[in-house]
Amino acid sequence: MGAHIVRQGNKVIGWQFRLYAPNAAAVYLVGDFNHWMQDRVDFDYKTAPFSIYEVHLGSWRKKVLNADDTDTGASTFYSYKEIAEQLIAYVQENHFTHIELLPITEHPLDASWGYQVTGYYSPASRYGNPDELKYLIDQCHQAGIGVILDWVPLHFCKDAHGLYQFDGSWLYEYQEEYDRENHQWGTANFDLSKGVTRSFLLSNMTYWLDNYHFDGIRVDALSYLLYWRGETDPDKTNGPAIDFIKRVTALVHTDFKGVVMIAEDSSAYPKVTHSLEQGGLGFDMKWDLGWMNDTLKYMSRPSYARKYHSNEITFGMYYNPSEQFLLPLSHDEVVHGKHSIVEKIDGDYEDRFRLARAYYSFYFAHPGKNCSLWAMSGGAYSRME
C-alpha cells in the first residue's frame, strides 16, 4: 500500500497509489498536481485595499442576437464563460479587487436578482454549466480578482420543484404557518433549529467553497435570521438561528481559511464582527446600512438645509469602532424607482455631478469599509485603509 513510482525503463512515467478500504463508497486522490483551477486570491483584507464590484450577471450586459435572426433586436444572456473577458477587463479598468455575484444558485425567474432560490446546489443554468462557472472564477483568480458568492440561508421558493413541503411534510421549513410563511417575499423560511436544515445548508456552503473556490461569502438578510420575522426587538432574538450562524462562520474559518465572511445586517445586533471566542457571530465585515441611509438622505437635501442636518453625515463615526463595517451602496439603491446616486442628489444637472464626486471622495476616505454604486444593474463596495 502507499505511493509507488512507476518506471518505464529508467524513466519515471508516473505514480501508483494503493490502499485497502473495502467498504468505501469512493476514494479520491487530492494534491497540487490536479487542481482544476488556481486557488483563492491571497491578500490580507484587513490591511490591503478591498474594493468589490457587485454584479447581476443577467442584466450587467446582454448579448444581442444575430440581426438575421427572426427575432431581430432580441437579446439573450452571456454565459459564465462568454462574460469572463469583458467583466474582468471592466473590473481591472476601475481598480476593483473583487467581484460579488448576486445569487447564481438556480432560481425560477429570469428577471429576478436570484434571491428566491430553488436549486441550492446548482449554478443557474441560464448562464451555462458548472464548468463554465469554474472557468469564470478561474479567470478572475488568474487576473488577481477575488470572487464573492451571495448566499441566501433565510428562505426559499415555494415552487413545486423546490424544497417547499419537500416530502409532503414541512421538512425544511417551520411547522407553524406564522413562522413558516414569509409574506414579504412570498417564500418559506428555513427552520434553522432542525438538524436536517442545518446539515443541508452547512453542506451547501461547503459545496460552493470546496468545488468553486469562492473567496468570500455575503450572507443575505442577516437581521431576519437574528430576530423572529426581522422584528429587531432584543426580546425576539431567534436563538437556534443565531447558533446556526455561528456554526457557519466557524465552519468557514476552520475549513476554508482566508475566505471572507460578510454580513448584510440592518439591525443593531451586537458583536456581529467579533470572534466566537469574544461572544460574537464570527463575521469579518458587516454592511453599514445606517451610514448609507443617513448620508444619502443628507445628499438629497437642498444645499441651504444641509447645515441643519450635519448629524446625518457624521453619525456613522459615533458607532464606527463597534464593528468592522463595509459601507454599502448596492443593488437595493436602484430598485423600485430609487434612482442612481447622481439622481438622488439635490441640485441642478452640473451640480449633481460635482456633489457626487465630493460624496464618493468622502466615502472612500471614511474609516473602515466602503461601498458605492456604479451602474443601474450593479453596485460596488470597497475596503480602504
Cell matching residue 243: 447558533
pLDDT at 158: 94
Give the residue ranges of DSSP H helices in the chain. Answer: 57-60, 80-93, 130-142, 177-180, 195-212, 223-226, 239-255, 289-300, 311-314, 316-319, 341-344, 349-365
Residue 305, CA distances (Å) to 31, 67, 299, 347, 349 in order: 63, 53, 10, 12, 19
**SS3 category, 84:** helix
Average pLDDT over residues 88-99: 92
> Residue 27 falls within a domain, yes or no?
no
> Residue 92 falls within a domain, yes or no?
yes
Average pLDDT over residues 9-13: 84
For residue 307, pLDDT over 80 is answered with yes
For residue 383, pLDDT over 80 is answered with no
**Average per-residue pLDDT for the chain:** 87
What confidence tens digit (pLDDT) does each residue in 209-255 have?
A: 999 999 999 999 999 999 987 777 777 899 999 999 999 999 999 99
Provide the angle, in degrees to the nearest 10, between the axes of the packed helices 349-365 and 289-300.
150
Average pLDDT over residues 175-181: 93
Domain that holds residue 102: 38-383
What percent of the chain has a predicted confidence (pLDDT) above 70?
90
Confidence of residue 71 (pLDDT cuts 50, 70, 90): low
Confidence of residue 385 (pLDDT cuts 50, 70, 90): very low
Greater confidence (23 vs 172) lies with 172
For residue 329, pLDDT over 80 is answered with yes
pLDDT at 48: 80
pLDDT at 318: 92
Among candidate residues 264, 294, 312, 323, the one labeled active-site is 264
Among candidate residues 54, 106, 191, 220, the one labeled active-site is 220
Confidence of residue 72 (pLDDT cuts 50, 70, 90): low
Greater confidence (376 vs 183) lies with 183
pLDDT at 352: 93
Confidence of residue 368 (pLDDT cuts 50, 70, 90): low
pLDDT at 384: 39
Active site residue 85: no
pLDDT at 38: 62
Greater confidence (29 vs 204) lies with 204
> Residue 24 falls within a domain, yes or no?
no
Q: How many domains does the chain have?
A: 1
Asked whether 127 and 150 are in contact (CB, 8 A), the reply is: no
Greater confidence (82 vs 64) lies with 82
> Residue 296 falls within a domain, yes or no?
yes
pLDDT at 200: 95
> Residue 163 falls within a domain, yes or no?
yes
> Residue 70 falls within a domain, yes or no?
yes
> Residue 9 falls within a domain, yes or no?
no
Average pLDDT over residues 311-317: 93
pLDDT at 69: 56
Q: How far is CA 314 from the centre of its chain?
A: 28
What confidence tens digit (pLDDT) does each residue in 244-281 have?
A: 999 999 999 999 999 999 999 989 999 999 999 999 99
Q: What is the CATH number of the domain that holds 274?
A: 3.20.20.80
> Residue 2 falls within a domain, yes or no?
no
Confidence of residue 34 (pLDDT cuts 50, 70, 90): low
Task: For residue 229, count CB atoms less than 10 angstroms from its CB and return exposed for 0-12, middle for 13-18, buried for 19 or more.
Answer: middle
Asked whether 319 and 296 are in contact (CB, 8 A), the reply is: no
Confidence of residue 364 (pLDDT cuts 50, 70, 90): confident
63-67, 118-122, 268-272: segment of lowest average pLDDT: 63-67
Confidence of residue 377 (pLDDT cuts 50, 70, 90): very low
